[in-house]
Structure 1
């Protein structure tokens, strides 16, 4: 699913190569919302653990996110246009503060970078959220409701993020206060899957998946017809369009988990292959598209799309094998030496096991 999300974002940004009127293909930018749902799902065991060792967790997160990002950022710096603020933007991006002043800085190097600060904020907040939830599942819907209200208030008072001087609410809209609810959708999916996976019933997952697909298609068709102006014309839609996309993805994810069960053989290998390369695809695809646009190549639309996709794939493969995988392995090894001798506090409601926490953390 991570691999699918990454290639959806690539397709949204490369849609102009395929057709002068991409319409529905542009809607695939919502693959970012799928990323948020997946992160919520993956870290749900930690959120529900009641507390966990922060040092090894932080080490794993740093070595997961930073190395490949630090390789990609100088590459974007080299091809970025000249600006008196260019160096300042670079320094702020190094510490994931590139989305704190407006769209010009956020999209200056790589538009896809905008979602990384939100992920980092979620990682930073997760230990506190785990203490707040303290293994009590009923607290999660309460948090969801609170931040739904927060999201509405933010959107109600926010100026356009792309304006020359966006207000603070506009900045908060693209940070965790405005997006936490999408991560919590992934937590709900995780809890639902834990309760249904051993039941042997497939009807409800099938219905959930079908409902999620119908919701996603409806939102996609609306976006294809009305675009961003259509979303902005309705306050409720403007506030919760991305959340509705996240819910659609969450329902589809729940359905797929129920239907597919455990993959094996080539299907499992393909899933791991796509997932392992997802971060590289996400980081490098804008680089490839910009270099293609600056080149003298004039390939037919579909061929240009395929050529750029292959170039992204090669960069993602190199990045994974040369940088990402070795760094993650080193980070895990380093974190294992910081693991506590005593097991973390576990949820009293679900009894999350230590092994399960480690696999997801």
Structure 2
């Protein structure tokens, strides 16, 4: 079977992998929070391929590749901002519109707090949820947004670690060391802090869902970066072999449900074990570099994953607020989410990404001009 190369984005299936990860998050949230849909058995099955850790790993792999191809700080920051903020701002305004329509009285009674909340939603403190919103939907306007500041922190950490590693000529040592420290912090925060102890509950939230929680989760991102650095060796092993690597990941996941041995083996939840993360990461890479052109045929170049991730909980909250719940509500959320994701991609995200090439050309011109002046 022919395979796609690391830079051949028209043939790899990362868009499809990310849509799968986003859909897993959607279904887990519906089964967890939509009244009338809760199912512990389904949650265990869905936990075999946890969406958020997959996102973190794939992000590390792709962003690591982006930095390797062009280690220009200005271009790097601009590219990340264009990918994150336009779609995020649109989703935040969508959530606000639903709140104004369905929850207007509490907003009018808390105008000052609402304005602060809006500012945080549009910046990098999305994990803060004011008390007056606890009565709307599931109690959090858009709970998935805690990962946005975490992801932004990853983007800042990566160049710093790479530059440090290159200066001391220990790149792999720095990345592996940071990943191991993060893994231990993650294990301590999720398994070592008792959630029943009120005195440590705030600390546990800080270490798991606040902007500072990137310290607990960056090891998953760095696994993706390390896979990118070793991709020339990995590709011959995984390309065209999606099925065996997926089966290995399933086997490791099933074993984890019966043998809980953190931080090596652990499910369910985002705080997965190291072996789970490695197995899932390799399965995702194997699928991405098998079946060339599959994502292009199925998605037609539409990257829906970010929109699916952003819009499903605002829609779910709105339906819960009006009493449309159970499987009917779940189906409506799924349909509405993919419609919103498509519109977000076509009207906002794709256009924003279209500015990257112009921005890159402008930065290259300025860089060339700076070198000419210096000489």
TM-score normalised over the length of structure 1: 0.74
Instruction: Output aligned runs, 1:1-361, within 5 Å.
Output: 1-15=17-31, 20-26=37-43, 28=46, 30-45=50-65, 52-80=71-99, 81=103, 82=106, 84=110, 85-99=113-127, 108-134=140-166, 136-155=171-190, 158=193, 160=195, 166-168=201-203, 170-174=205-209, 175-198=213-236, 208-219=245-256, 221=257, 242-244=270-272, 247-255=275-283, 257-258=285-286, 261=289, 263-270=291-298, 273=301, 276-295=303-322, 301=327, 303-339=328-364
Shift of 1:295: 3.8
Contact 1:172 1:178 in 2 (8 A): yes
Q: CA RMSD in A?
A: 4.0
Alignment partners' CA distance in 2, 1:336 and 1:161: 54
Shift of 1:212: 1.9
Alignment partners' CA distance in 1, 2:35 and 2:129: 33
Alignment partners' CA distance in 2, 1:103 and 1:45: 41
Task: Please give the secondary structure, in 2, of the residue aligned with 1:244.
Answer: coil
Count of equivalent residues: 328
Contact 2:57 2:281 in 1 (8 A): no
Contact 1:185 1:246 in 2 (8 A): no
Shift of 1:99: 2.8
In the other structure, the counterpart of 2:11 is none
Gaps of 5+ in 1: 224-229, 343-361
Gaps of 5+ in 2: 1-16, 369-375
Task: Please give the secondary structure, in 1, of the residue aligned with 2:363.
Answer: coil
Alignment partners' CA distance in 2, 1:258 and 1:235: 24
* Distance change >3 Å, CA 124–CA 257, structure 1 → 2: closer
Shift of 1:252: 3.5
Alignment partners' CA distance in 2, 1:128 and 1:253: 23
Contact 1:158 1:170 in 2 (8 A): no
Spell out, residue by residue over 1:54-83, the C-alpha distance to the aligned partner (whole angstroms, 9 max, x if none).
Answer: 101111111110011111112222434526
Contact 1:37 1:185 in 2 (8 A): yes
Contact 1:159 1:170 in 2 (8 A): no
Spell out, residue by residue over 1:194-221, the C-alpha distance to the aligned partner (whole angstroms, 9 max, x if none).
Answer: 2032469978x866543322122344x4
Alignment partners' CA distance in 1, 2:204 and 2:288: 41
Task: Please give the secondary structure, in 1, of the residue aligned with 2:159.
Answer: helix
Shift of 1:324: 0.8
